[in-house]
Structure 1
Amino acid sequence: MADEMVRQAQVFVNQTYGNIIGMTVTENGQTGWNTMYALTRALQYELGITSLSNNFGPGTLAALQSQYGKLDETNIPNPNFCKIIQSALYCKGYDGGSLDGTYSSRVKDAVAKLNQDMGLSTVYPGSSLWPKAIKGLFNMDAYVTVNNGSSAIRSVQQWLNGRYILRSDFYVIPCDGHHSRDVAKSMLYAVQYELGMADGVANGVFGPGTQSGLRSHTVSVGSTGAWARLFTAAMVLNKRDVSFGDFTAAVKAGVESFQSFVKLPVTGQGDFSTWASLLVSYGDQSRQGEACDGVTKITSARAQTLKAAGVRYIGRYLTNPSSTSLPEKAIQPGELQTIADNGLRCFPIYQTFGRDASDFSYPQGRWAGQAAVNAALDHGFKAGTRIFFAVDFDALDADVTNSVLPHFKGIQDAIIDDGNRFEIGVYGPRNVCTRVSEAGHATASFVSDMSSGFSGNFGYPLPANWAYDQIVTRTLGSGSGAIEIDVNIASGRDTGQASFNAPRTPVPDTGLSPSVLTAMRTDVGKYMESIGFPNDGGLRSHTHEACFQWTVLEYDAVITLLAYRYNMRKALIQTSAYWEMRHIDAVDVAKDLEVMAEFQATGSFRDSSTGICQIFGRTATLAWNHAVQRGYTEGPVRDINSDQDKYNIWRDCMEDNQFALSTVPLVHLWNADGAPGNTPEETPLRSMRLDYTENETFEILRRYQGPAGSEATPHAKQRMALYQIMEKYNAISRNV
């Protein structure tokens, strides 16, 4: 909602400083960061700072302190300076007066209220603005509860401000009733100050000195003063139902509940381990965990090492997208049986890329969900197993909303379409796990608490449904039994699997089993509809039924033979052909007619994609020549510089569906070898094989359509889900 006084503030800063500070703001009456940045720059200009910045940093604070000490009606240097303060007050929701450049009684009342809301009224009594309060005024922090903020958390925030604001490295934190990264860091500063650390030594880091000091500050029933307040503050910030203040019997009960929840010894005291779990995501890293995860194969010797350390549950990866790095990251042949033979249990983890928001979307979730199912079945995991899908980056809350949640909706839809054989877990920072679970997309969380600096961990409580809590990397054992693991605390909500089906071996594809055809047709159509391709074709020339018939069913025997001959998965051929045929529209049909007319009239070949597989004449020529020269197939070598030769093969791709389908695997082989002769050429992949990694499969699908960075890349992310659906039914058929 627009505020007229905020609009007037925006008009003022634009008209007075727009040409000076290097920016203007939208005059919409809505407070935002750009408005606060402009006001900050205007203040810096009035302070004589020549290098203006959006950041209200140490230089701005030092200039305020050295020039004024504090601001009030006695020392405001000029009306514009006062108008900047008045504007900032309005942007914070306070009455800044008439925006007339006067430090009036209304401004004084507003400043007094601001100091009170910040918790600073005892330190900064009256209506003067002190430098640190001014710094807090020029940002987007709130000092009243917003968005259903907790009054208890706000009390903690105000207390921290009031008690520690005079320390040099402590600045005003929000008092909005919400825990956050800044609040969590302020708690660590507060602990360090109470431990006696000097300014410049205290740094807000949970280091050895802080940990050593906390070991001698256990609090229990009857404890009062600053340490009791800090401990109960930490409990309140972790959303535990206790009163902020003294350590009472009621607090003890809350501590026992918290200790039980995070799997600490239930002592009812604020001991070191409890302090640690409240202050940092990873807690006490000396704890022994009953679970672990890692990228190393579990041999019998390593299994014995883990058992001796008290480990019962082992997290292992279903796939490894890379063919070169971490060769044992994915579950290795025979490994699950070794785990079972040694009395251990395994929980599967699925992670392809997952290290950036761009790796998450609804189509990529569909890809991940079906790929994980396919891999889980390949390894022999039984129905009912929970697969943990990884979000392994510092996802901001907006990233969760815009990317991660749609991704997990895609995972969930894939699991549902597969018949709910597997359960869904989420691996990631606390906020990611909580939000994905609360959205109903996961039933348990594997929390990456070791990444304590992640925005989604700093200031968020442990998710209610946590199953594994990853806290530290540790090397165990020696010799052949040595293994590096991530230590996980286990809650018992997930226990993995102790027995497994026989693994599915990577054998060549066979013809599609008649029993899968109806389900395969339905699943492919449902997925395409979910990404905007209606089954009736919509604006495209071909319906789902027609495309499925011609690129999957009609030539299944041909595709099976081609896949066997070239040692590739049928799904690579089916996916490329079906996808391209679904994309044909009236423009493509008209283009074909133009190409033929021009060649017949002039003998000049103007290349375009054609036929059900949408192949260019030049691409087909290069692919066929490459295949003949490498001995993949037999046939004539065509002249890449001859318009007649390129036109002839282009016509074959347009008019002969079987020829077009036979060309698809040759294009894949050519692309795998680096697309020699193309502009640009590609980095060669490993030779075509049945156990291509997901990254190699992605590259083959992407290269079929075009170069990296073009629309081929986002399309390939969509086609990977289609590929996994095709592969699902091919796998069923070859394992009947």
Structure 2
Amino acid sequence: MADEMVLRAQRFINTTYPNMLGMSPLEENGQTSWTVMYALTRALQLELGISSLSNNFGPTTLNTLASKYPVLKDGTVPSANFARIIQSALYCKGYDGGEIDGKYNDRVAASVSKLKSDMGVLPSFPEEGSLYPKVVKALLNMDPYVVVSGGSSKIREIQQWLNGRYIGRQDFFIVPCDGHHSRTVASSMLYAIQYELGMADGVANGNFGPGTKTGLANHTLSEGSAGTWAQLYSAALILNGRSGTPFSSLFNSTVASETAAFQEFVKLPVTGKGDFSTWASLLVSYGDQNRRGEACDGVTKITAARAATLKAEGVKYIGRYLINATGGKPYEKEIQAGELQTIAENGLRCFPIWQTYGRDAKGYSYPSGSADGLAAIAAAQRHGFKSGARIFFAVDFDAYDYEVTDNVLPYFKGVQDALAMSGNPYRVGVYGPRNVCIRVSDAGHATASFVSDMSSGFSGNYGYPLPANWAYDQVVTRWLGTGDGAIEVDHNIASGRDIGEGSFNASYLDNDPDTAFDFTSYYNALNADVSTYMEQIGFPDSDASRIFTHTECLETIMSHDALITQLSNTYNMRKALIQTSAYWEMRHYDVVDLGVDAAVTYYHTGVGGGVVPKRDSSTGIAQISGEVGIRAWNHCIQVDLVEGTILDPAKDADIWTMWHKVNQDNAYSVKTVSLIHLWDAAGKVGGQNPPDGESTLRAMSLDYTQNEIFEVLRRYQGWGDEAEEHASKRMALYQLFEKYNGLSRR
């Protein structure tokens, strides 16, 4: 909703500093944003005489302001525009800034006093209505100083107390007072601890280092303790979700009771005392890294000797990966042959982890979740996990909250739908930072959390409590054992909410060649699953914008099953690669494609008219252009994979020859799909490639990794964002075809 005074502030910036701030003019929409605050910060820097402007209100800006204008008030504000910057910022914060007329009047002074009171710093900066450098720094950001939606008045009291007590210290800056725990508040708590330990300015750094650990070990609290340490401790409990704790300088029986409940929750010895381990769990995500947990996870095969090492360390539950998505180092990341039986025979249990190659938000979407869910089922069954096991799907990067909303939650919805489509043979767990685990679980997409708490600096860990449904808490990497029993693992605390699996079905390698499709047993299920998935991603069966329905596409592709089986066996290529590319392209065929087809026919034959002639285009059920078809066939002819005549893509006659074949002959198109995949794997020799070229993949194989499958599907379309997006969507389609092909070949 637009605010008239914020709109006036935006106009003031645009008209007063045109082309002077090193950023685009502000959108004049009356809405506060970081962009507006950045513009005000740059305007202030300009008024201070700083030549290198920045969005950041950093040390240079703060020190320059402090040296020139240590107290801002009526009579010390150096210019009308300087005052207008303050007035504009007040409105952006929700306070009265006067008329944005360049006057630091009583209205502005009253708002400044209210601002300082809301921040909790009024006693520290008592001069009525005056602004101080650290307050100006806080004024020029988006932090609120009143309780906002869902905020806690008790947490706001803690925030105000921290500001009031420590604002005089060199590296302590005003934290938000919005009633919500956050990364900023968590950092301020560590600074507060260090200040109370006697660390000097410049020494205190907000890190949980050796000095801080030693100091906390000497400050165990128990019932009856009183003073600032007790107050800090009660604040830490409250910030970690123990809302029944009084924010008080007295460690009373209620604090002791809340401490015991917290210790039980995080699986610490229940003493009711604020000892070092409890302090550590309250202040940093990984807590006391000297703890010994009952679980671990790793990328190394569990042998009998290593199992003995783990048992001696008290480990009961071992996390192992269902696949090695890239096939590269570490080579034992995927569960190895016979490993699960070794685990079971040694009285240990295993919980499966699914992780592909997604290391940023771009790798997470509804289609990629669908693909991973289907692939995880197949991998879990192949390794021998029985129905009911919980698979932990990994989010192994620092996902910001908006990325959780836009990418991670749709991904887990895709996982959940894929498992439901398959009859829910397994349960879904989430592996990732605290905020990811909390939000995925709250959305109903996961039943337990495996928390990557070692990454304490992740924005999704810093300032978030341990998820209520945590099963495993990853706290430290350790080398254990010696000789043949030596193994490096991530050590985890176990809550008991998940206990892994202790018995397994026989595992099997699914590297057998593809066979004819079992239409009687599986066609109806394949038809239903593909239809459901395509509708989920925006392709309903009855789509007037497309030439062919789902049924027509699937029937066309599957009518060539004998040919596709032959191609699969000849080229050591999974049938699903050919089926996926052909079905996907045919499903996308639309009226625009028909018009382009007419333009190409007109160019080469003169038949038709009323269109702009076009030399070449993607055409036919598999949307293959003449040039691509020629280059794929030429490559495969030259390496003795197929017999045929070399054509020249520079010659119109040869382009027409290939184009007409793939346009008219569905069987020829299907065969050409397989050759394009072979050409793609070889790096698309002679084709149009991205600036750095396409890498050469491993020779086509029935055991292609997830990464290799994705690359082949992506290269069929080209490169760039659209090709990546479509390949992600086709991965789930591939898994559906592969699911029923796999059942057919057993």
Of the three residues 400, 404, 407, the one matched with 1:403 is 407
Asked if structure 2 preserves the Cα contact closer than 8 Å seen for 1:605 and 1:643, the reply is no
1:572 offset after TM fit, Å?
A: 0.7
Give 1:642 deviation, angstroms: 4.7
Residues 28/645 of structure 1: CA separation in 2 closer, same or farther (3 Å cut): closer
Contact 2:626/2:649, CA 8 A, preserved across alignment: no
List aligned pairs for 1:3-14, cutoff 5 A: 3-14=3-14
**Structure 1 CA distance, aligned partners of 2:144 and 2:531?**
49
One-letter identity of the residue aligned with 1:10: Q
Deviations 1:343-391, CA, capped at 9 Å, x for gaps:
1111111111221111111111111111111111111111111111111
Shift of 1:37: 1.8
Cα distance change, pair 652–80 in 1 and its aligned pair in 2 (3 A):
closer
Stretch deviating more after TM superposition (266-275 or 80-89): 80-89
Percent identity over paired residues: 62
Contact kept in structure 1, 2:599 and 2:614, CA below 8 Å: no
| Aligned residue type for 2:14 | N
Instruction: Verify: 1:306 aligned to 2:306, yes or no.
Output: no
- Secondary structure, counterpart of 2:258 in structure 1: helix
Count of residue correspondences: 732
Displacement after TM superposition at 1:219 (Å): 0.7
Per-residue CA deviations over 1:700-736 (Å, capped at 9, x if unaligned) read 1112222x2263222111111110111111112222x
CA distance in 1, matches of 2:74, 2:651: 86
Shift in Å at residue 659 of structure 1?
Answer: 2.0
Q: CA deviation at 1:637?
A: 4.1
Contact 1:698-1:720 at 8 Å conserved across structures: yes
- Give RMSD over aligned pairs: 1.7
**After the TM superposition, which residues 238-637 of structure 1 pair with which residues of structure 2 at under 5 Å, given as runs?**
238-241=240-243, 242-245=245-248, 246-505=250-509, 506-513=511-518, 514-552=520-558, 554-601=559-606, 606-637=615-646
- Match of 2:18, SS? helix
Unaligned ranges ≥5, structure 1: none
Aligned to 1:17: 17
* 1:163 shift after superposition: 0.6
Give, in whole Å, the separation in 1 of the partners of 2:659 and 2:41: 63
Alignment partners' CA distance in 2, 1:577 and 1:81: 65
Residues 1:634 and 1:76: Cα distance change in structure 2 (over 3 Å):
closer
Which residue pairs with 1:655 in the alignment? 664
Q: Distance in 1 between matches of 2:599 and 2:13?
A: 59
Alignment of structure 1 residues 116-131 onto 2, 5 Å = 116-125=117-126, 126-131=128-133
Deviations for 1:170-225, whole angstroms, at most 9, x for unmatched residues?
A: 11111110111111000000000001111100000000110011001001111111
- Is 1:703–2:709 an aligned residue pair? no
d(CA) in 2 for partners of 1:374 and 1:695? 16
Q: Deviations over 1:131-187 (max 9, x none)?
A: 111111111111110112100100110110111111111111111101111110000
Compute the displacement of 1:532 (Å): 1.4
Contact kept? 2:327, 2:705, Cα under 8 Å: yes
- Cα drift, residue 639 of structure 1: 4.9
Say whether the 8 Å CA contact 2:384–2:507 is kept in structure 1.
yes
| Paired residue type of 1:499 | S
CA change 1:449–1:581 in 2 (3 A) is: same
Deviation at 1:605, TM superposition (A): 9.2
In 2, are the aligned partners of 1:299 and 1:335 still within 8 Å (CA)? yes
User: How far apart are the structure 2 equivalents of 1:115 and 1:617?
Assistant: 71
In structure 2, distance between residues paired with 1:270 and 1:141: 31
1:133·1:172 contact (CA, 8 Å) conserved in 2? Answer: yes
Counterpart residue identity of residue 627, structure 2: R
Q: Check conservation: 2:37, 2:140, Cα contact below 8 A.
A: yes
- The change in CA–CA distance for 1:625 and 1:107 in structure 2 (over 3 A counts) is closer
The DSSP-based 3-state class of the residue aligned with 1:206 is coil
Is the Cα–Cα contact under 8 Å of residues 220 and 275 in structure 2 kept in the other structure?
yes
Cross-structure match for 1:234:
236
* CA separation of 1:26 and 1:671: change in aligned 2, threshold 3 A: closer
2:200 to 182, 198, 201: 198
Paired with 2:112 and 2:651, the residues of 1 have a C-alpha distance of: 81
Superposed counterparts of 1:630-709, under 5 Å:
630-639=639-648, 642-680=651-689, 682-706=694-718, 708-709=719-720
Q: Which moved more, 1:195-204 or 1:493-502?
A: 493-502
Measured after TM superposition, the shift of residue 282 of structure 1 is 0.4
Name the SS for the 2:100 alignment partner.
Answer: coil
Partner of 1:220: 222
- Bigger CA drift: 288-297 or 102-111? 102-111
The residue matched to 1:510 in structure 2 has which SS? coil
- Three-state SS of the structure 1 residue aligned to 2:352 is strand
Q: Which stretch of the first structure deviates more once superposed, 638-647 or 389-398?
A: 638-647
Q: Which amino acid aligns with 1:277?
A: S
Larger deviation, residues 16-25 vs 174-183? 16-25
Distance 1:135 1:594, change over 3 A: closer
Partners of 1:521 and 1:734 lie apart in 2 by: 18
Residue 641 of structure 1: CA displacement?
A: 5.0
Note if contact 1:685-1:696 (Cα within 8 Å) is conserved in structure 2: yes
Q: Aligned partners of 2:101 and 2:672: how far apart in 1? A: 77
Residue 673 and residue 41 in structure 1: after superposition, are their counterparts in 2 closer, same or farther (change >3 A)? Answer: closer
Stretch deviating more after TM superposition (283-292 or 298-307): 298-307
Q: 1:310 to 1:99 in 2, by over 3 A?
A: same
Q: CA 1:146 to 1:546, structure 2 compared with 1: closer, same or farther past 3 Å?
A: same
Alpha carbons 1:391, 1:428 under 8 Å: kept: yes
Mapped to 1, the partners of 2:70 and 2:675 lie a distance apart of: 76
- Deviation (angstroms), 1:589: 2.6
C-alpha distance in structure 1 between counterparts of 2:534 and 2:253, whole Å: 59
**How far does residue 397 in structure 1 lie from its aligned partner after superposition?**
0.7
Letter in 2 for 1:337: Q
Partners in 2 of 1:436 and 1:307 — Cα distance?
Answer: 32
Opposite residue 716 of structure 1, the aligned amino acid is A
Residue identity opposite 1:713 in structure 2: E
Q: Distance in 2 between matches of 1:543 and 1:108?
A: 69
Paired with 2:738 and 2:185, the residues of 1 have a C-alpha distance of 49
Secondary structure of the structure 2 residue equivalent to 1:716 = helix
Identify if the C-alpha distance between structure 1 residues 219 and 78 changes in structure 2 by more than 3 Å, giving closer, same or farther. same
2-structure distance, mates of 1:597, 1:507: 47
CA–CA separation in structure 1 for the residues paired with 2:378 and 2:426: 11
The CA deviation string for residues 385-440 of structure 1, in whole angstroms up to 9 with x for no partner, is: 11111111111111111111111111111111111111111111100110011011
Q: Aligned with 2:318: secondary structure?
A: strand
Secondary structure of residue in 2 paired with 1:406: helix
- Quote how far apart the aligned CAs of 1:274 are: 0.4
Are 1:76 and 2:77 matched, yes or no?
yes
CA distance in 1 between partners of 2:10 and 2:717 (Å):
49
Mapped to 2, the partners of 1:180 and 1:116 lie a distance apart of: 21
Contact 2:326 2:357 in 1 (8 A): no
Distance change in 2, residues 1:639/1:134 (3 Å): closer
Report the equivalent of 1:113.
Answer: 114
Report the more deviating stretch, 214-223 or 633-642: 633-642
Question: 1:556: how far off?
Answer: 1.5
> Aligned pair in 2 of structure 1 residues 635, 32: CA closer, same or farther (>3 Å)?
closer
